[in-house]
A and B are shown apart, each in its own frame.
Chain A
Amino acid sequence: MTALSPFDGSEVADPDRNQRLADLLLEVARTLDPGVATVLPSRLAEDPRLDAVRGVLLQKQLDVLARLQHTFDDPEKLAAAISEILPHALALSGARDERLGLVLAPTMERATEASIRKDPNTLVNILYPVMGPAIRKSISERLEDTLQGLNQALRFAFSWRGLRWRFEALRSGTSFGDVVLKHTLVFRVEHVFLIHRKAGLLLEHVAAPDAAARDPQLVSGMLTAIQDFVRDSFDEAGSTSASAIDSLRLGDLLLWCEAGPQAYLAAVIRGNPPESLRVTLRDTLADIHRELHGALADYNGDSTPLGDLATRLEPCLKKQVQAPVRKLTPIMWAFPLVLLAAVAYWWLGQYFENTRVAAYVDSLRQEPGIVVTGVERSGGAWHISGLRDPLAVRPADLLRRAKADPEHIDERWEPYVALNPTIVLRRLQASLPPLPGATLTRTGDTIRIQGGVPPDWIEKARALVRALPAGAPSVDLSGLTDVEDPEYVRLRESIQQVRVYFDSGAPDPSSGQEVALDQIAKETREILEVARRLGFSVRLAIVGHADSRGKQTTNLGLSIARAEVVRSLLRKRGVEPYLLSVRGTGTLEPLKEGEAPDDLSLNRCVTVTVVNVSE
Chain B
Amino acid sequence: MMQKKICLLGAFGVGKTSLTRRFVDSIFSDAYLTTVGVKIDKKQLDVGPVAVSLVIWDIAGEDEVSAVRTSYLRGAAGYLLVIDVTRGQTLEVARSIQARVASEIGNIPFLCLLNKTDVPDWDIGAARIDALREEGWNVLRTSAKTGEGVEQAFVELAQRVLA
Contacts and interface: CB of A to CB of B under 8 A. Distances in A.
A255 to B, nearest CB: 15
21 contacts: A198-B75, A199-B74, A200-B55, A200-B57, A201-B5, A201-B55, A214-B27, A215-B42, A217-B55, A218-B27, A219-B27, A221-B40, A222-B32, A225-B36, A226-B36, A228-B74, A232-B71, A301-B2, A301-B3, A301-B77, A302-B3
B38 interface: yes
A215 B71 contact: no
B3 A228 contact: no
Contacts of A218: 25-28, 40-42, 55
B53 interface: yes
The CB with the most chain B CB atoms within 10 A, among A196, A201, A231, A301, is that of: A301
Contacts of B77: 199, 300-301
Interface in B70-124: 71-72, 74-77
A221 B57 contact: yes
A200 B56 CA distance: 11
B28 A222 contact: yes
Interface in B11-34: 25-28, 32
Interface string A21-54: 0000000000000000000000000000000000
A296 B41 CA distance: 24
A249 B53 CA distance: 30
Contacts of A198: 74-75
Interface in A293-307: 300-303
Contacts of A196: 75
The CB with the most chain B CB atoms within 10 A, among A199, A201, A225, A302, is that of: A225
CB-CB nearest 6 A-B residue pairs: A199-B75, A221-B40, A198-B75, A228-B71, A301-B3, A199-B5
Given A199-B75, A201-B5, A225 B55 contact: no
Given A217-B42, A226-B36, A229-B37, A301 B4 contact: yes
A202 interface: yes
Nearest to B26: A218
Contacts of A217: 3, 42, 53, 55
B42 A228 contact: no
Interface string A218-258: 11011001101101100000000000000000000000000
Given A199-B76, A201-B55, A218-B26, A225 B2 contact: no
Contact of B36 (A199, A229, A231, A302): A229
A217 B4 CA distance: 11
Nearest to A239: B71
A215 B74 CA distance: 22
Contacts of A232: 69, 71
Nearest to A227: B71
Interface in B32-65: 32, 36-42, 53, 55, 57
A164 B71 CA distance: 54
A222 B40 contact: yes
A228 B40 contact: no
A200 B5 contact: yes
Contacts of A226: 36
A225 B38 contact: yes
B63 to A, nearest CB: 18
B71 A231 contact: yes
B162 to A, nearest CB: 9
Interface string A1-33: 000000000000000000000000000000000
A221 B38 CA distance: 10
Contacts of A201: 3-5, 55, 75
A404 to B, nearest CB: 85
A301 B26 CA distance: 20
Contacts of B38: 225, 229
Given A217-B53, A301-B4, 7 more contacts: A196-B75, A201-B5, A218-B25, A218-B26, A218-B27, A218-B28, A302-B2
A301 B77 CA distance: 9
B50 to A, nearest CB: 9
Contact of A200 (B2, B42, B75): B75
A221 B55 contact: yes
A214 B41 CA distance: 12
The CB with the most chain B CB atoms within 10 A, among A196, A219, A229, is that of: A229
A221 B26 CA distance: 12
Contacts of B32: 222
A214 B55 CA distance: 15
A215 B69 contact: no
B3 A202 contact: yes
A202 B3 CA distance: 8
Contacts of A302: 2-3
Contacts of B74: 198-199, 228
Interface string A169-207: 000000000000000000000000000101111100000
A198 B76 CA distance: 9
A8 B5 CA distance: 55
Nearest to A226: B36
Nearest to A230: B36
A225 B57 contact: yes
A215 B55 CA distance: 11
B130 to A, nearest CB: 34
A37 B31 CA distance: 97
Nearest to A223: B40
Contacts of B27: 214-215, 218-219
A94 to B, nearest CB: 25
A225 B56 CA distance: 12
Contacts of B53: 217
The CB with the most chain A CB atoms within 10 A, among B32, B40, B53, B72, is that of: B40
A467 B30 CA distance: 127
A214 B40 CA distance: 13
Contacts of B36: 225-226, 229
